[in-house]
Structure formats: C-alpha cells, structure tokens
Chain A
Amino acid sequence: MSTVVDDVPGGILALDADLRITAANRALGVLVGRDPTSLIGEPFDVLLSLPARILFQTHVFPALQADGRIEEAFLTLATSEPEPTPVLVNAVRTTSDGVSRYDLLVVRVRARSRWEADLLRATQALQGERAAAQQVADKLTATARDLADRHDEERRNRSFRDAFVGVVSHELRTPITTIYGMSHVLKARLSSMDPADVAEHLSEIADEADRMRRLTEDLLVLSRAEGRQLNIGSEPILVAHLVRRAVDAEAERAPGHRFSVDVAVGQPMALGEDTYIDQVIRNLLSNAAKYSPAGTTIRITIKREDDGVAVRVIDEGPGLGDQAPDALFEVFYRAPGVIGTKSGAGIGLFVCRELIAAMGGRIWASAAPPPATSGAEFGFWLPGATDDDPDGDAGA
C-alpha cells in the first residue's frame, strides 16, 4: 500500500469475492498486532472475535451484499489481549466483470464504545425504571377500579337496605296494629263481650301473629343470605315427610282449599337441611293458597328426577299471566295485579330461591301442566343423597 494509505489513522482492508484479504495498511496491522503483509490471503473473519464473526456473517456481510455498502457496523477484533478491540466498520462492495470486491475502513472506538456501553446500561436501567413506573401506574389504576367497584356495591347495598327497611316496617306494622288494637279491645271489654266476638278477635290475633312469625323467619333467612352467611347442612332428607307435615299445617290455615299429595314410589333421599326445605314448602303452599280461590284444590307431587327429588305445587288460580317466571323470585317482587289486594312483602319466593340455590337445587315457576288450562306450578328440585335408599319409607 502507498505511504499515504499506510499513514491514514484507521485500518484499511481490501477483500476478494471470497472475503479473503488482498491488501491491508499499516494501521490495520497495528490494530490486530500483526505485520500487514502476513494477512494477505487469510479470510477476513479470522481477524474478528468469535461473537463478531457471527454478527459479520449473519448480518453485516448479507447487508453489504444486498445494499452494496454498510456503515457504522460495531464489531470487535480478536487480539492477544483478553479484551477484544471494539471497532466501527464501513464497507463498500464494487463489482467489475461480475466479480465483487470489498473495501473496508476499520476505526478503533475504544473511548466511544465505553461511552456507548455506559449509555446502553443507562438506557436499560431507564427501561427498567419505566417498567417499574408502569407497574405502579397499573397497580394504582387497579386500586382505583377496585375502589369504584366497592363504592358501587356500597351504594347498591344502601339502596337495598332502604327498600328493605321500608317494606319490612310496613309489613310488620299491619299485624302489630291489629294485634295491638284487638288485645286492647279485649282487655278493656272482655267481661261485657259476646263470647263469639271474643273468639273471632282471638282468632284474628292468632292469624296476624302467625303472619308475623313467618315474615320474621323469612327475614332471618334473607339477612343471612344477603350477608352470604347461609350455612346449609347436607343431611339426607325424606322430602315426603316434610311435605305431609307442611300440608297438614297449611290445611288448617286455609280451610277453604283442598290439598292432595301425590308421592311417587321410589324417590331417593334429598340432600339439604330439613328446616329450610320445610320453609320453602310452607312458602309455596301459602303462596298457592293466597293466589287461588277458595274451593279449589292445591295439588302437590313428589317425584324422582335426574337423581334427585322434584316437588311441584300446582294450584287452580289464574296462573302466571304475562309475568316473567324468573322475575317472581326477585326480592320485593309483587305481582302487578295483586299490589294492594293481597298482603305480602315480596320476600317469600326470593327466600325460597336463595335456600334452594344454597342447597344445590333448582326452583321454577310455570303454568300448571296440561290438561289444566289455568293455574300455576311452583316447583323445586334438590339433588339426591349418594347413599340413596330407593325404597325408603316414601310410600308409607
């Protein structure tokens, strides 16, 4: 190489089409610690560190071949020292008579590369910080959403409580007023009253007290269900017994109705809690009595279905009409036609739904099954006990 080229402060290399060194200046020899003439004929990449060989072969050379030039490729040279020498490489490809050659300028960038390495570390640290900040922001967003959710729930609970207190105080006041008034009349005029009137007043007091008792039982279950404290055991229950007992009690309260119980043979034991099943049955029976005219029959069927027990209470009343069956089980739901004509808090069916759901069962309302053309059916299903005793004493 000429003196001028030799004295240039940077390594200069020429490679043939096969990437072998055809010329190298003195500065390049200094860079790699070898006599430049000894490099002639060697493959270029032996000058590179092993990592730089990969980068050169996989990225730099293909780009050089594709684009005809490459600028500011950062590579490292193999040296006798433990640390490789960082360099920047610019290169051009020229072709004559279909044969390529490559000219390379190689400049050492020790100071710059130290600075760049620092910059890289700083950039990576910054990315870490940014990720951490993003995490904090995400957490804050999540907390804010959580708070908003809780606020919404709080508001729902509050409006539920307000409605609850309103309905309940109204429903409790009516029987209390009656009991209070009747008992005062009896106390003041007992000696002068006709015994038939006394009996009627006492009967009214008893009826109202019974209504209060039922309502408070429902309220108790409801408050537990709202607080998600409903704790239901899973005892095998013979549902037919509970139904018979409830029917006997209800028949006394609704002497104008006829009750018929139809128990299919071979039903399994149901899983649940007897006091709660009892409460559901009583609610359904009193509902049926309330919404169907005196003189009609309320039919109760108990059958084995889907490895469980299905109980249906079928009345001969007006039926569901246009009401959506599922809406009947919502809390405080009152059928449109009955508000003001029938007493009730709109709690009973909701309580039934909560109890049946807690016992793993289903509850439903529908039109009475054919051949009936009117009337409603309210039914529930409970899972059967696993130590199923098909005979039991169901038929007894």
Chain B
Amino acid sequence: MASDVLQRHAVQVRGNPAGRPMVFAHGFGCDQTLWRFVAPAFEADHRVITFDYVGAGASDRSAYDPQRYASLDGYADDIRAICAALDLRDVVLVGHSVSTMIAALAAIAEPDRFGALILVTPSPRYLDDLPGYRGGFAPADIDGLLQMMDLNAMGWASYLAPIVMGNADRPVLASDLETTFCSIDPAMARQFAEVTFRGDNRTDLDQVTTPSLIIQCAQDAIAPPSVGAFVHDHLRGSDLREIAATGHCPHVSHPAETIAAIRSYLGAHEGQRTAGSA
C-alpha cells in the first residue's frame, strides 16, 4: 500500500535520513526535476523528498483520475499520502506556484504533520475579483491558455508531450523525448490548468496555522507582488521574502537566492523551535 503510493508518484528520497524532512511539491507545468537546482542543497541536513503529481514526469499516468483531480484537494491528499507512507513528521513542505495552495490545504487538513510551509510565488486566485482583488487575469485569458495548450499538445511541443516511452501511436517521438526532462500528459495538464486558474483559495489562507515563508519575485506576471502581499496579510505568522528576480520560477532562474531564503528562514526558526522546547 505504502509502496504503491511511492511508486505512483515516482517519489525520490535523498539526503540525511536523520534530518528534518523536506518535501518539494512541483507546480503547474513540468515535474519534480524542476527542483534539481534547489533541493540538493538541503541534502546534507535534511531528508529530501521529491515527487511527481499523477500525470506528470515519471508518475504512473494510468492512475490519473479526473474526478480525484477535479479540485486541489485531490492533490493535497496525495501529499498527505506520501508523507504518511514515509511516516514523516514535522515536515517542511515546499510548494511552487499552485502547489503553494495545495500545501496550504494539506496543512489545514493535517496541521500536526507539517512544521513549516515554504511558499514559492503563491497566488490564492489568478482571476481578478474587482474592485477588491486583482489576481492578474480575466476568464478569457484562461480560455486562451487552454486553447494554446491544446495547440501545443497537437504540435507535439516536447514540454507537453504524452508518455515518453511505450507510446505506440507516436514512435517517431521517442528519440526526441529521451532528452526531455519535463513532460506532462496533455489531458492532465489541461485539467490542472483549469483547476489552478479558475480556483479561489483566498478563504483557505485564514485557516492555516502552520508557520510559513512566502518567496516572492520582484517582477512576476503570474503572481505579482500585490498578490504576495495579500497572501502575507492572510497567513498568520508568515514571513515574506522578495527576491530580485523576474519571472515565476525563482527556484529555476535564481536557485542560489531561493536556497538562501529558505535556509535563513529555517535557521531562524530552528533557533526558535529549540528555544521553545528548552
């Protein structure tokens, strides 16, 4: 049962077996390989766990269940199942993009399991809800995104390609795809996009009791600084750290700064935790 979960999500466990566990959850697009610029830096002190959501990367794509993943709760359940299978406690859960909200849902459901949340470029809602809230996007933009994803999937762009191996329909692709690190099933990506960009998790933020660090990019078209500030306001006991970076993936474009931000946060809190328990 436990090994089923680990296999389904292509779970990788590395680092210091005695260290405080860190679970890295990839966001919408790509898979766990995106953490390869950041996660190894924590292997000396932590037990480092990375995984793929079902439909992404090396996960068991046949296990994809459109009903389970019709909301972010299905993804949050996956993270909890992985943590339970490995019997992880006091987990540092690191989520990027939509996985910040998935992490929040997991922490709300099981606050005892998670000791800290690291939220990289979070947004609780991508659609505008004017006048009070500006998420950055209108419904038509999301329709455009879905259509563009369909066209990319049809054009066989490598980052939106079906199963790498054993796809009898498209044998010609196999050699191209061997060199592709990120791949994601188009049907999964499409539903993930809908759930992510049409969702609204603003009220969930108020229910999170786990301490958290928000990592925000100075210029991010998808999760702009105003959204980061909203998250900071609504997450009790959260720290906000802005990285002088452009884009939505600081763990890819600015790994050193991202590592430093996480490390200093965990270091400061490690001191507090030790002081608190003394």
Chain A interfacial positions (CB closer than 8 Å to B): 17-20, 43, 45-46, 49-55, 57-63, 65-67, 70-76, 84, 113, 116-117, 119-120, 123
- On whether the beta carbons of A74 and B246 are closer than 8 Å, the reply is no
Alpha-carbon distance between A51 and B142 when the two chains are bound, in angstroms: 6
4 A-B pairs with the lowest CB-CB distances in the bound complex, closest first: A58-B29, A51-B144, A63-B159, A51-B145
Using a CB-CB cutoff of 8 Å, which residues 240-256 of chain B contact chain A?
245-249, 252-253
- On whether the beta carbons of B197 and A54 are closer than 8 Å, the reply is yes
- On whether the beta carbons of A62 and B155 are closer than 8 Å, the reply is no
Shortest distance in angstroms between A69's beta carbon and chain B's nearest beta carbon? 9
Collect the chain A residues with CB atoms within 8 Å of residue B222's CB: 53-54, 57-58
Collect the chain B residues with CB atoms within 8 Å of residue A58's CB: 27-30, 97, 222, 248-249
Alpha-carbon distance between A116 and B149 when the two chains are bound, in angstroms: 13
Alpha-carbon distance between A61 and B152 when the two chains are bound, in angstroms: 14
Chain A: which residue is nearest B146 at the CB level? A51
- On whether the beta carbons of B148 and A75 are closer than 8 Å, the reply is yes
Chain A: which residue is nearest B152 at the CB level? A74
14 chain-A/chain-B pairs, Cβ below 8 angstroms: A43-B247, A45-B247, A46-B221, A50-B144, A54-B137, A55-B152, A59-B29, A66-B36, A66-B182, A67-B181, A84-B144, A116-B151, A116-B154, A120-B151
- On whether the beta carbons of A63 and B30 are closer than 8 Å, the reply is yes
Chain A: which residue is nearest B179 at the CB level? A67
Task: Given A53-B221, A58-B27, A63-B158, check contact A74 B151 (CB 8 Å).
Answer: yes
- On whether the beta carbons of B157 and A74 are closer than 8 Å, the reply is yes
Collect the chain A residues with CB atoms within 8 Å of residue B143's CB: 51
* Interface check B219, CB cutoff 8 A: yes
Shortest distance in angstroms between A119's beta carbon and chain B's nearest beta carbon? 7
Alpha-carbon distance between A63 and B184 when the two chains are bound, in angstroms: 11
- Which of A54, A61, A63, A123 contacts B145 (CB under 8 A)? A54
- B 18-30 to A, binary, CB cutoff 8 A, 1 in contact else 0: 0000000001111
* Interface check B209, CB cutoff 8 A: no
Task: Given A73-B157, A116-B155, check contact A65 B253 (CB 8 Å).
Answer: yes
Task: Given A18-B253, A19-B247, A52-B148, check contact A62 B158 (CB 8 Å).
Answer: no
Using a CB-CB cutoff of 8 Å, which residues 207-232 of chain B contact chain A?
219, 221-222
Collect the chain A residues with CB atoms within 8 Å of residue B147's CB: 51, 120
Alpha-carbon distance between A73 and B182 when the two chains are bound, in angstroms: 14
* Interface check B77, CB cutoff 8 A: no
Task: Given A57-B247, A57-B248, check contact A62 B182 (CB 8 Å).
Answer: yes
Shortest distance in angstroms between A66's beta carbon and chain B's nearest beta carbon? 4
Please name 15 further chain A to chain B contacts, defined as beta carbons within 8 Å, in addition to the given A50-B144, A54-B141, A59-B189, sorted by A numbering.
A18-B247, A50-B141, A52-B144, A54-B145, A55-B152, A57-B222, A61-B249, A63-B158, A63-B180, A63-B182, A66-B34, A67-B181, A70-B157, A70-B158, A113-B151
- Which of B27, B154, B252 contacts A119 (CB under 8 A)? B154
Chain B interfacial positions (CB closer than 8 Å to A): 27-30, 33-34, 36-37, 97, 136-138, 141-145, 147-152, 154-160, 179-182, 184, 189, 197, 219, 221-222, 245-249, 252-253
Collect the chain B residues with CB atoms within 8 Å of residue A70's CB: 157-159
- On whether the beta carbons of A120 and B154 are closer than 8 Å, the reply is yes
Collect the chain A residues with CB atoms within 8 Å of residue B150's CB: 120
Chain B: which residue is nearest A119 at the CB level? B154
- On whether the beta carbons of B29 and A117 are closer than 8 Å, the reply is no
Chain A: which residue is nearest B160 at the CB level? A59
Collect the chain A residues with CB atoms within 8 Å of residue B30's CB: 58-59, 62-63, 66
Task: Given A51-B144, A73-B157, check contact A62 B151 (CB 8 Å).
Answer: no
- On whether the beta carbons of B157 and A62 are closer than 8 Å, the reply is no
Shortest distance in angstroms between B276's beta carbon and chain A's nearest beta carbon? 38
- On whether the beta carbons of A72 and B155 are closer than 8 Å, the reply is yes
Collect the chain A residues with CB atoms within 8 Å of residue B248's CB: 57-58
Shortest distance in angstroms between A55's beta carbon and chain B's nearest beta carbon? 6
Chain A: which residue is nearest B245 at the CB level? A18
Which of A19, A45, A58, A59 has the largest count of B CB atoms less than 10 A from its CB? Answer: A58
Alpha-carbon distance between A9 and B48 when the two chains are bound, in angstroms: 48
Collect the chain B residues with CB atoms within 8 Å of residue A19's CB: 246-247, 253
- On whether the beta carbons of A67 and B221 are closer than 8 Å, the reply is no
Alpha-carbon distance between A220 and B180 when the two chains are bound, in angstroms: 78
Which of A46, A53, A76 has the largest count of B CB atoms less than 10 A from its CB? Answer: A53
Alpha-carbon distance between A74 and B157 when the two chains are bound, in angstroms: 8
Shortest distance in angstroms between B115's beta carbon and chain A's nearest beta carbon? 28
Chain A: which residue is nearest B223 at the CB level? A57
Collect the chain A residues with CB atoms within 8 Å of residue B37's CB: 65
Alpha-carbon distance between A31 and B248 when the two chains are bound, in angstroms: 25
Shortest distance in angstroms between A79's beta carbon and chain B's nearest beta carbon? 14
Alpha-carbon distance between A76 and B27 when the two chains are bound, in angstroms: 22
Collect the chain B residues with CB atoms within 8 Å of residue A51's CB: 141-145, 147-148
